[in-house]
Amino acid sequence: MVSTINSVIELKNNKKYDEAIKLAKSEFRKTKDNCFNNEIYNCFKLQNNLEEAIKILKKMIKIEPDDLSLLKKLAYNYYLSGDYKNALKYYKIVLESEPISAENHYSTGLMYHSLKDLKNAYKYYCNAIKANPKYVAAHNNIGILYYEGKDYENALKIFKNSIAISPSNPEAYHHIGIIQRIYKKDEELSVLYLKKAIRLDPKYAGNYYQLALTYNSFKRNKKAIQALKKCIELNPNYEHAKELLEKLS
């Protein structure tokens, strides 16, 4: 069996996904070993075929129903596919088995957030922080809840606290930069925070787009154009950036 699974992995690594899946399915029928299903899953994931990845995960769970790692993978794949209701269903099953896990509370909160159930999103983000006071993603998402609700003062407090916990936190700098522009009307601080976000995460096109919006808001068109060009260089499909660049050019 070891040589066969190695053959499947070699085919997968060489991007011969159909051959790898065919061989793994054949061996699974003989052995009923989930390691072959796992490689089938990996092949579908590498092809970004979430529908088939979810199907194979369900088969794996029937064989090992108590394997929480499989349930987490299933929940996450539902999330990636945009099926937040099923993602929430499975994250809650995981949470029942691991009720003190900050990650599980956070993931459950994220599903509620995605479903626009902001009250429950806030509750589970807070639970994540109770389980781990330094869980930066939960702090950031509470800040985003306040930001989305246009409660910018509380959003600023949360994001600044998040930076105090983790100074290398580009998402917090990103949102503070936006708030400094749209709420405080402070060009200097907006640019300062957005440039810090860029230094921490130079490959995120959204940082450059927000920087461009700041420059544009304060009539710095030349700098806005430079930021937009960098944004589009990083993400050629960034439509809002392309529209603004065309308007400013």
> How far, CA to CA in Å, does 34 sit from each of 19, 78, 151?
18, 20, 49
State the pTM of this model.
Answer: 0.92
> Cβ distance 170 to 200 under 8 Å?
yes
Q: Give all domains of the chain, ordered by start, each with its CATH number.
A: 1-64 (1.25.40), 205-249 (no CATH)
Average pLDDT over residues 5-27: 95
d(CA 40, CA 147): 41
Span 75-93, pLDDT tens digits = 999 999 999 999 999 999 9
Residue 3 confidence class, pLDDT cut points 50, 70, 90: confident
Average pLDDT over residues 52-68: 97
Mean pLDDT, the chain, rounded, equals: 97
DSSP state, residue 99? T
Residue 21 confidence class, pLDDT cut points 50, 70, 90: very high
> Cβ distance 152 to 179 under 8 Å?
yes
Average pLDDT over residues 168-196: 97
Residue 1 confidence class, pLDDT cut points 50, 70, 90: low
Residue 168 confidence class, pLDDT cut points 50, 70, 90: very high
Average pLDDT over residues 139-144: 98
Residue 60 confidence class, pLDDT cut points 50, 70, 90: very high
Residue 237 confidence class, pLDDT cut points 50, 70, 90: very high
Does residue 2 register a pLDDT over 90? no
